[in-house]
Structure 1
Amino acid sequence: MTSWTKITNVSAFEDTDRKTFKQFTVFYQDGDFFACENRCPHMGYPMNKGTIRDGVITCAWHYWDFDLKHGGCYRGACDDLKIYPCKVENEDIYVNTSESNKDIETLLTHLRESMRSGDIYLQSKAINQLVSADVPAEKIVITALQQAYLHSQRNHQTEQSIYETQAIINAYELSTHYPAKEKASILIHGIKAASGTTGDRMEVTPLPEHTLNAATNNKNLIRYSEESSSMGIERILLSIYAESGFSEELQTTLLALATQTHYANHREVLTCISAIIQQSKIIKDHQLDRALLAQAAWVLGKSRTQPNLETKDAIKWLDENDSKIMETIFTESSESNTTEIEKILFQNNLGTIFKDFLHYLEKGQAFTTVLNDLSQISAKRFSRLWLNNGGMWNSASEGFRLCNSIRETSHLKGTHQMKALFFLVFYFYQTRWVQPGIENKNKSDDKVFSWDDYNNSFESLDEPTAKNAIKNLTTKESLADATFIEKFTKPLLNEDLSLVQLNTLIAVLHEAQHNKDWQPYLLGMITYSIDQKLSQNTKSASKFGLGYF
């Protein structure tokens, strides 16, 4: 349906060859009127600042040439300029303002191309166009995940591929707490992480039908994981998938594999498998399922270095006590006891730690309660780190990030749950040098803080004020509120987050909601974010040096 709108009279062009009206500009050349969008399709520069010659308009910023009558970009490396039909009736100029939105598939193609180029500006532009065209965020995310998989095929068939796809999922989750006009700025945090060149790989197919049974599958999966044979793992997983899809049985098999003792020092495997299972639930797409299974095989079958002495001791103890561990049964409920667990964890002998922890579980504990206690202990260490701590953030946050990964798959019951807890205990032993620290008691006067105070404290790098503000503004009940999540994360997302930071932020939000003491998670994240800002930005570091002390 056309919509002609009278905009002006020809007399308005007696002394000029152009007039701008809201989103478009009308040009007068050689007796004819032309109207185009007043934003260059390349980077949005005003077209009314451009030059016209021989029916071609040239943007004044990057000098892209467009046909003034039809909008075509002569060099072909940029989108075409949007043209609005013009007509003159009784000396009045009319413009057809009816929308001629681009085909959705064309916009999705732009997203794929921008990811392949690695150009964050083009990615942001493509995402904004899709959001403006009311394309569902799920469709944008699926397209980005497909492209991310093609990128990982060529560049890194390792756990890095899962970190990148999970970043897209994490950004998508955060975007659900933001208004529509801001979703694009959140999605870009994940999509940019999975951008770059792409490539193909040879097709991997399931094994011939009826070749294997369930028992043989499990034995061979363990064997191939020990031998670092990703191809053998992938073919068996595809065979299971061909029979039952991405079923709970397949998911439990993946978790059982990820908690084999030879992965005790490679806890990222469990984190990655949990992420794959989460992605399979969020995004229902057959082609992506096969990609997820390939990623699972890559991480389960990756080459591993020889374990060090303490890892050998851990593996030996876990193997020797496997039957005792598996005989232990979780209760429906139990009382939280972080004090007793801390006494167990912070002993000097690994064998004693494992033995005492097993004895603690044998007294009757609920899985969720123990997981919460371990998460709280990890968060306490995380929150007590200081600025410029020498790079301890990753180690300090790994505990509750792993707790979050385990929690996300807690609906899947099996032997992997008990083993995952012992992996966590081994993590605490390996990172025993990250001491619990002294609680950071910031001044807590009667001042009432606002969200502006919180935001401004990030600009001024005022860590104590940021922490006091969030204490003042937050309650346990507000943690799950979308408005709170938007306000808490906004200054954090103003920075260029790394994959680990984005993953940590999601774990902070999840774990804070599941645990009675939410403060350590949020307060630690604030210090972490300000510390990263200092380390990445010379200007910020200078400001910190002049005004912090």
Structure 2
Amino acid sequence: MSELIYAGSLKKLEDVGAKVIKGGSHAIAVFVHEKQVYAVDNRCPHMGFPLHTGSLCDGILTCHWHHARFDIKSGGTLDPWADDIPTYPVHIKEDKVWVHPVPYNKVTIEKLRKRLREGLEQNLSLVIAKSVVGLMEAGFPANEIAKVGIDFGTIHHQSGWGSGLTILTAMTNVLTKLDKTGQILALFQGLVHVARESSGMGSRFLLGSLPVTDEMNTQSFEQLSEWYRHCVEVRDPQGAERVLLTTIELDFTNEQIADMMMTAITDHFYVNTGHTLDFHNKAFEILEQIGFEHRPYVLSSLLPGLGHVSRSEESHSWQSPVDLVKPLIEAFKKLPDILANASSIEETEVDEAPLVEQILSDDALKTVNMMLDALKNGVSPARLAQLVALAAAERISRFHVQNDFRDWITVLHTFTHAHALHESLRRSTTPELTRAVFHGAMSVYQDRFLNLPSARRPEPKDVEAEPQNPSELLEMMNKQQQVAESARWVVNYLARGGNISELFNTLGHALLREDAEFHSFQMFEAAMVEHEHWEIEDSELASHAQETLIIAVTRYLAGHAPTSREMPHIARIAMRLHRGEKLFEDE
């Protein structure tokens, strides 16, 4: 009996109808209903309102705050937006009522995973938030949480891979830059975007591979690659899917499949303003985290969108007043020989800073020739892509707020395309994929007018002073039109020796406390990852690049804040509920 909690005499309980007792760190509500005694957690699992003040009728306990309804016997809820309520064993002996404080229906990892899936299916943000908080606090791996969202989003969205899955992948990539609260917010935001994007969009059913025969061998991959390339060319996503699934069925390597898919989308210039290449890169990135057994649904989800993408070589701006198409086509003919010979030559020292400035210049044809020369001199395609990404980040760091606000997204597209290409070339290098480095450089060229006038790069002041408190930056971004001020703040912070990890965490919270739109998530992740690549170098260019990336992401986030902040408010509710706080009382 020492483990039991005395709730009172049965007669007194019958007189009062309901009573609250202490069950260790939580309160338990004891009810007498239709001559039976029931014990449940006194906190409504929806938002924590005390259930002893609710109504109990016909076996249904109703919370008076949001009218969530529960079966008093099992604790099960009738409302999908509420959770089941814990129920406790009741013992009656000699008119005395005792309650065992260990619930029948304990919360387990499997229940939280199931609840997360239900939250995605019903598009219920608070359910998703509570599931993420519970799983993270239980030590469940973050990539396993992301996997639930990826599995759901790649199946239950007929239009295939989109912004939601991209946000979830991007946020999974930067979890190491964030504290525990930031990690919860990052996963929650990604999962909610997946749920919203998938809501009402129908499910995808795989078409299946072509019949696989014993005669198929390595030679068949070349044939399948050509078929895939042709299907993408003629905008036939169904044919492309069957070919793709055949390569997976034949267990071709991820590098082979990536090369096949990337070749098809780089046959045309800067496809869909860079989104298509970025989505492909994100799909392969998330597979590295959740397992390549998910290839069929993840990779095939990229195909529905290929039927209606834009191809930049068909646009007027790529042909006039300067024809960029013909010179690029001529340059691309040289790439196979250049890359084949590059491995056999001794690398020549290339001054990379002037090359970055040339990419930013208004002489596109000279840029193409300098990039070809860099490859001939042993600069790897991945390194060249990294330099293009730096030039694209320079455009954002110099973007003047006198531009149309929507043009932030123009320079953002170029940067995220260049970053995705850099990551893709780090995995595998082909002449076909290298073409996209030139696509990216020409997009940087196209964006040149957005730096006229050019925003001034801030100069640090009072460098001997102590670094500022990062909370100052968050406070600054609580106001609109703080782009230049925020950039000056981070430059001073860096010059004074501020902790870079704390700064990244602060910038992460500046993003995650907002109802941010798709491109802001892209910007933060791309800047964080590109910065990490430059950290391993000790050079003047590397230092300049790191500062440029920080200025760029700070200015972009400041230019898109503040917002209404509904999403982080929901996450805070979930975190407070998990801690047992009372939401319904004044703070």
Q: TM-score with structure 2 length normalisation?
A: 0.79
Aligned equivalents of 1:247, 1:142: Cα separation in 2: 19
CA deviation vs aligned residue, 1:343-402 (integer Å, no higher than 9, x gap): 354235x44543343245434434444333322222222112244742222222233322
Gaps in structure 1 of 5+ consecutive residues: 538-549
1:41 counterpart SS class: coil
The answer to whether structure 1 residue 394 and structure 2 residue 413 are counterparts is: no
How far, CA to CA, are the matches of 1:10 and 1:207 in structure 2? 72
Q: CA-atom RMSD, angstroms?
A: 3.5
Identity rate of aligned residues, in percent?
A: 19
Residue 469 (structure 2) aligned to one of 437, 446, 450:
450
Show the counterpart of 2:194: 194
CA distance in 1, matches of 2:456, 2:440: 23
C-alpha distance 535-18 of structure 1, shift in aligned 2 (>3 A): closer
Distance, in Å, in 2 between the alignment partners of 1:310 and 1:32 is 78
Cα 1:368–1:174 shift into 2, 3 Å: closer
**Does the 8 A contact of 1:50 with 1:58 survive in 2?**
yes
Amino acid at match of 1:376: L
Q: Which moved more, 1:387-396 or 1:100-109?
A: 100-109
Aligned to 1:297: 303
From 123, 128, 153, give the equivalent of 1:148.
Answer: 153
What residue number does 2:184 align with? 184
**2-side partners of 1:475 and 1:352: how far apart?**
35
What residue is the counterpart of 1:29 in the other structure? 32
CA 321–464 in structure 1, closer or farther in 2 if over 3 Å, else same:
closer
Q: 2:240 is aligned with what amino acid?
A: I
| Residues 28/130 of structure 1: CA separation in 2 closer, same or farther (3 Å cut) | same
Question: Is 1:497 aligned to 2:516, yes or no?
Answer: yes
Aligned to 1:120: 125
Pick from 465, 478, 496: which aligns with 1:459? 478
Correspondence 1:6-155 to 2 at 5 A:
6=5, 17-19=18-20, 21=22, 22-29=25-32, 34-53=38-57, 56-73=60-77, 78-87=82-91, 94-98=98-102, 100-102=105-107, 104-153=109-158
Read off the aligned partner of 1:187 and give its amino acid letter.
L
- The verdict on how the C-alpha distance between 1:178 and 1:509 changes in structure 2, with shifts beyond 3 A counting, is closer
Matches within 5 A, 1:385-464: 385-387=399-401, 389=403, 390-409=405-424, 410-435=426-451, 437-441=454-458, 444-445=461-462, 447-448=465-466, 449-460=468-479, 462-463=482-483
Which residue of the partner structure matches residue 509 of structure 1? 528
The 1:108–1:439 alpha-carbon spacing in structure 2 relative to 1, beyond 3 Å, is same
Using the alignment, how far apart are the partners of 2:226 and 2:111 within structure 1? 47
CA distance in 1 between counterparts of 2:328 and 2:140 reads: 50
Check 1:5–1:278 CA distance in 2 against 1; reply closer, same or farther (3 A cut).
Answer: same
**Alpha-carbon separation, structure 2, partners of 1:138 and 1:178:** 15
Amino acid at match of 2:259: T
Report SS of the residue matched to 1:172.
helix
Q: How far apart are 1:279 and its partner, in Å?
A: 1.9
Distance 1:397-1:25 versus aligned 2 partners, 3 A rule: same
Q: Report if the CA contact (8 A) 2:511-2:521 is conserved.
A: no
Contact 1:34 1:84 (8 Å CA) reproduced? yes
CA distance in 2, matches of 1:80, 1:321: 64
The 2-side partners of 1:262 and 1:526 are apart by 30
Q: 1:319 to 1:177 in 2, by over 3 A?
A: closer
Of stretches 369-378 and 100-109 in structure 1, the one that deviates more from structure 2 is 100-109
> Is the contact between residue 235 and residue 307 of structure 2 (CA under 8 Å) also seen in structure 1?
yes
1:323-342 correspondence to structure 2 within 5 Å: 323-329=333-339, 330=342, 334-342=349-357
Give the Cα–Cα distance (whole angstroms) in 1 for the partners of residues 65 and 368 of structure 2.
65
Q: Is 2:555 aligned against 1:527?
A: yes
Distance in 2, matches of 1:464 and 1:213, equals: 56
Determine if the alignment matches structure 1 residue 317 to structure 2 residue 322.
no
* Equivalent position of 2:578 in the other structure: none
**Equivalent position amino acid for 1:194 in 2:** V
Counterpart-to-counterpart distance in 2, 1:361 and 1:76? 58
Instruction: Specify which of 446, 471, 477 is matched with residue 491 of structure 2.
Output: 471
Shift of 1:493: 0.9
Q: Which has the higher contact order (CA 8 A, sep 6+)?
A: 2
Q: Could you say which residue in structure 1 is the equivalent of 2:538? A: none
Amino acid corresponding to residue 473 of structure 2 in structure 1: Y
**C-alpha deviation, 1:508, in angstroms:** 0.8
User: Could you list the per-position Cα deviations for residues 397-427 of structure 1 after superposition, in whole angstroms to 9, with x for gaps in the alignment?
Assistant: 2333223212222131221353122111221
* In structure 2, C-alpha distance between the alignment counterparts of 1:143 and 1:149, rounded to whole Å: 10
CA distance 1:198–1:105, shift in 2 (3 Å): farther
What's the CA shift string for 1:45-94, capped at 9, x where partnerless? Answer: 33243234465432011222323343233567743321122346689764
Where 1:24 maps in the other structure, the secondary structure is strand
| Separation in structure 1 between the aligned mates of residue 292 and residue 337 of structure 2, nearest angstrom | 38
- In 1, Cα distance between the equivalents of 2:337 and 2:446? 26
Partner of 1:547: none
Q: CA deviation at 1:190?
A: 0.5
| TM-score relative to the length of structure 1 | 0.84
CA distance change for structure 1 residues 200 and 375 in 2, over 3 Å: closer, same or farther? closer
Q: Which amino acid in structure 1 is aligned with residue 186 of structure 2? A: I
Tell me the equivalent position of 1:307. 314
Q: Partner of 2:301: helix, strand, or coil?
A: helix
Q: Give the letter for the 2:231 counterpart.
A: Y
